[in-house]
Amino acid sequence: MHPPKDVFVIDKLGIMEVQAFIECYCTAYQQPEADMIMPMLFPGTDLRSPEVRNRLQKYLNNHDVYLVARYQQTGKLLGVSWWHTELNPPKTPEDKETAFAKVKERKDEAPDVPGRNQPLEDAYMEAAFDATMECTGPDPYVELRVLAVLPHHQRRGIGSSLLREGLERLDRCTRLKAFVIASIQGKALHDKFGFQVTRELPLDPTNWGGNSRSTHWCMLRLPAVCENDDIPLDENIFLTGTFNYLRPKQGLETLIALLG
């Protein structure tokens, strides 16, 4: 039975909730109707298995923002979102090569999962990296890397609430564009919140042993128009992980509001 819409709260991920975050993320992507790439990376493996969860945990970054929808009565996580801020995107071909090498290094260091489809994983990572660089350009941006809701709690406003909260934080203090690689399940929701398709992700998983074409779209949301938009942004007062690409006149009062 679905809980009423008003019994969950949107909050920042607690330090002891990392495993719960990953479990929620994996459970949402495990459902058969989820036409996503991740299940094809681990064919025949339950995404909720310790092996998959340990591998995914390696990709989490202490500098990113993790928001959760928490059931008020029990504290259970019903949905999660993961926001990554890229303040200094690679600009030259050499910079991009170095950045992609770091992505591959993190993948190679992650604990392996028996039966992992490595050719598809490599193809996806390269296609996603190149498409992201092409769509976002040389300027700073925020990427929504994960938006997931437990299957039995979907269509209850949780995904919308997580997306709205993240974008409101973004608009409150930045002029940064937002980027997402959206699946067929998420595209309509991102459309609703102002994301626009820039291109289709150039990847057909069936070429690497996947069981579906699993179309994904690269989508951009332009920055919201803010008051005093002519005030230049100061990189020196950016605090990683809090969306605090602050304007000089906002200062400590805004920072406290964002961290609270």
Amino acid at 208: W
Residue 146, domain extent: 5-259
Which pLDDT value is given to residue 92? 94
CATH number at residue 160: 3.40.630.30
Measured from the Cβ of residue 73, the count of other Cβ atoms closer than 10 Å reads: 9
How far is residue 120 CA from its own chain's centroid? 20
Which pLDDT value is given to residue 4? 53
Tell me how many helices (H) and strands (E) the chain has. Answer: 8, 7
* Residues 4, 153: Cα–Cα separation, whole Å: 10
* Residues 242, 256: Cα–Cα separation, whole Å: 11
Q: What tokens appear for 231 in the block?
A: 């005030």
List the chain residues with pLDDT less than 50: 1, 3, 6, 231-260
* Residues 253, 260: Cα–Cα separation, whole Å: 11
Q: What tokens appear for 75 in the block?
A: 């504290």
Measured from the Cβ of residue 143, the count of other Cβ atoms closer than 10 Å reads: 17
Q: What tokens appear for 154 in the block?
A: 């979907």
SS3 state of residue 121? helix
Give the H or E element holding residue 8.
strand 8-12
**Nearest alpha-carbon partner for 80 in 88, 68, 91, 92:** 68
Degrees, nearest 5: CA angle 241-245-251: 105
Mean pLDDT of the chain: 84
Which pLDDT value is given to residue 30? 83
Number of domains in the chain: 1
**Nearest alpha-carbon partner for 224 in 195, 189, 185:** 195
Which pLDDT value is given to residue 254? 34
Which pLDDT value is given to residue 258? 39
